[in-house]
Amino acid sequence: MSDDAAGPDSDHRRPAGVTDATVEALGKLSAALDHVEDARGHLYAFHRLMGSAESTLEEATAMVREAGHTALADALDRDALGQNPLPGMWSFQMVEAFDDGLYARTKALHQRALDELVEGRRHVFEAEMKELRRTHGRSGHEPTPEAAYDDPR
């Protein structure tokens, strides 16, 4: 198969009749979802850090108590250990609220847009950008993974 004729694979080609404006809008929508996904990752990192902080605070409180500072240890027990990072919520509740709320709605609407506008095809905008920017026939610029392994002889 000629590299120059290949272009994006069929899963990433724009369906007939789809306009540039639609492809660009879907590219922007995908970028927005990427940001939501990044935020979700940071929220999960926050959740893990809060779990580690709680465990470490519990160990520190025990050490403060063992060192004879009972009043301070009591204050740590009462005022810090088990504290909600946000009103009424531990970090697992934040993760669940985000996952079930904005994240789920945004992901579902993104999928709806792909299904309705480009037959469910993902990354059409990016595939077209790759095609515009790659150097045809140059190693490392193949249109698909399969083309990268074609025997050039």
pLDDT tens digits in sequence order for the chain, 153 residues long = 445 567 788 899 999 999 999 999 999 999 999 999 999 999 999 999 999 999 999 999 999 999 999 999 999 999 999 999 999 999 999 999 999 999 999 999 999 999 999 999 999 999 999 999 999 989 999 888 888 887 554
Residue 153 placed within a domain: no
Residue 134 is predicted with a pLDDT of 93
Alpha-carbon dihedral angle through residues 108, 111, 112, 117, given to the nearest 10 degrees: 160
Residue 118 domain boundaries: 3-139
How many distinct structural domains can be found in the chain?
A: 1
- Inside any domain, residue 85: yes
CA distance 42 to 48: 10
CB-based burial of residue 14 (10 Å sphere; 0-12 exposed, 13-18 middle, 19+ buried)? buried
Q: What is the pLDDT of residue 49?
A: 98
CB 24 within 8 A of CB 125: yes
Half-sphere exposure of 86 (CA within 13 A, CB side): 11
